[in-house]
Amino acid sequence: MTTSVTLTGTGVPHPSPGRAGAGVLVRCGDIALQFDAGRGTVLRLAEAGCAPHQLDAAFLTHVHSDHVADLADVALTRWVQQTLHPAGPLTIVAPEGESATFARRMLDPYDHDIAVRMAHVQPSPPEVDVRAFPVPVTPEAVWRSADGAVVVEAVAVHHEPVAEAVAYRVTTPDGVVVVSGDTRVCAEVEDLARGADLLVHEACRTTVMAELIAGTPFERIFDYHADTVALGGLAERAGVPHVVLTHLIPPPASSDDERAFADDVRAGGYTGAIAVGADLDTFTVGA
Ligand SMILES: [Zn+2]
Ligand SMILES: [Zn+2]
């Protein structure tokens, strides 16, 4: 068997052609897990051959709009699709606090649409099964497949001032995948990535652009994202063989721009394989 990892979005809040909002799809056999759901996620899922009704669970790393803008669409599309594909409530696994609250409230503005559709076609309202977990300072399991073969753990990361932000580690029979969410380069992700086969990490060219952004609002934005050079050191220390960069800041506009992200990570001391992510890039773990 193989486990596949598909980037459903490599973009950031500032829109960039071809880059949907943050999201990573991990599939192992029939199991499909979506991590974050930024703008365009439903389209990217369809392009990846995984419609919302096929998801076993969606996981939130934190509430910034670029990570959750399409979550309601995932839930509503799954609901509308139930006329053809009965799937039950969408399970949403989220840190307690802002993320879980967002997931519980996100369908409220659609009350009228839901009522109209129910009067017309749908026999029952859309349902989300929000499973909130206290943000753990050391990794804790937050989801397991029915047979226990796939386990997802979470750990707190550093995206302050966002109060609750986590990274996830997915263990399947094929190997281990870590998804950083948004965070500064931190020891928690380094520990989480130790022994992993694939690290999907957000990337921000802080070191290289420090002079350029000094005194601008971007200085504060870059401060809570992962410096590509420091990330190279983290990945090397963690001994992870393959790093996939996503949530690219600034969005690359050319192949030279993309190569620069990889060069930063290399300059930070990383000797493994580097992929600068594009939407729908798919990586496999296992045989
Ligand atoms: Zn973000
Ligand atoms: Zn964020």
| pLDDT tens-place string over residues 157-175 | 999 999 999 999 999 999 9
List pLDDT tens digits, range 85-125: 989 999 999 999 999 999 999 999 999 999 999 999 888 99
Inter-residue contact 272 to 232 (CB < 8 Å): no
Inform me whether the pLDDT recorded for 183 exceeds 80.
yes
Q: What is the distance between the alpha carbons of residues 287 and 1, in angstroms, rounded to a whole number? A: 6
Whether pTM exceeds 0.95: yes
Q: Which pLDDT does position 209 carry in this prediction?
A: 83
* Cα 178 to ligand 1 centre (Å): 16
Inform me whether the pLDDT recorded for 33 exceeds 90.
yes
* Cα 161 to ligand 2 centre (Å): 10
* DSSP 8-state class, residue 22: S
* Cα 182 to ligand 2 centre (Å): 5
Q: What is the distance between the alpha carbons of residues 100 and 128, in angstroms, rounded to a whole number? A: 11
Ligand with an atom nearest the CA of residue 62: 2
Average pLDDT for the chain? 96
* Cα 276 to ligand 2 centre (Å): 19
Q: Which pLDDT does position 6 carry in this prediction?
A: 98
With pLDDT > 90 as the criterion, what percentage of the chain qualifies? 90
What SS3 string covers 104-119?
HHCCHHHHHHHHHHHH
Residues with CB under 5 A from ligand 1 (ion): 64, 66, 182
Q: Which pLDDT does position 228 carry in this prediction?
A: 97
* Cα 281 to ligand 1 centre (Å): 19
Inform me whether the pLDDT recorded for 222 exceeds 90.
no
Ligand with an atom nearest the CA of residue 14: 1
List pLDDT tens digits, range 270-285: 999 999 999 999 999 9
Q: Which pLDDT does position 220 carry in this prediction?
A: 84
Confidence of residue 245 (pLDDT cuts 50, 70, 90): very high
Inform me whether the pLDDT recorded for 287 exceeds 80.
no
Average pLDDT of the segment spanning 217-233: 90
Confidence of residue 213 (pLDDT cuts 50, 70, 90): confident
Q: Which residues are catalytic?
A: 66
Ligand with an atom nearest the CA of residue 165: 2
Q: What is the distance between the alpha carbons of residues 165 and 156, in angstroms, rounded to a whole number? A: 6
Q: Which pLDDT does position 216 carry in this prediction?
A: 85
* Cα 85 to ligand 1 centre (Å): 32
With pLDDT > 70 as the criterion, what percentage of the chain qualifies? 100
**Count of helix runs (H) and strand runs (E) in the chain:** 10, 14
Confidence of residue 32 (pLDDT cuts 50, 70, 90): very high
Ligand with an atom nearest the CA of residue 66: 1
